[in-house]
Amino acid sequence: MARPNPELIDALRRTARKLAEGAPYQWGHMGGCNCGNLAQELTKMTRDQIHQYAMQRYGDWNEQVADYCDTSQLPFDVIINQMLGAGLALEDLKHLEKLDDREVLVRLPLERRFLKHNRRDDVVTYLNEWANLLEEKLLAKITLPADLMQVREPVAVNV
């Protein structure tokens, strides 16, 4: 699972919001699919740039992730590197493309757990719930100093 951090959580929510508001979505387009839309947010590359780099090799996101090499400097591997640097893991990219991470899906109501990987509304649902999950994990790691946790007596104010 991804490393929870504010930047990644924000990128997931921005991607979901843009898709909900009608950003170009095409599951068969490497820059406009589930991973492609998130890649746009994390890399600041355009949909067409991402697609162009992907076409220098074969395969969809799952195949390209399987063939990823962190030292290759191939343009698409550089995109994946940036996404990993934002806190994602390779498995997250595979799950995002198929909308099938069990840890995300189990949080949805039973009737909403059967998402279609190529349906815009389902991608928005998945991204938002994934962001919520990561935010909860991030907040769970935060501990306040003991002196802030103590209950203090209210200070009386004379009027």
pLDDT of 144: 65
Residue 64 tokens read as: 């390209």
Segment 69-103, tens digit of pLDDT: 888 888 999 999 999 999 999 999 999 999 999 99
pTM for this prediction: 0.85
* Side-chain-side CA neighbours of residue 126 (13 Å): 27
Q: Tell me how far apart the alpha carbons of residues 142 and 13 are, in angstroms, rounded to a whole number.
A: 21
pLDDT, average across residues 115-130: 96
pLDDT, average across residues 120-132: 97
pLDDT of 140: 87
Domain boundaries, the chain: 6-141
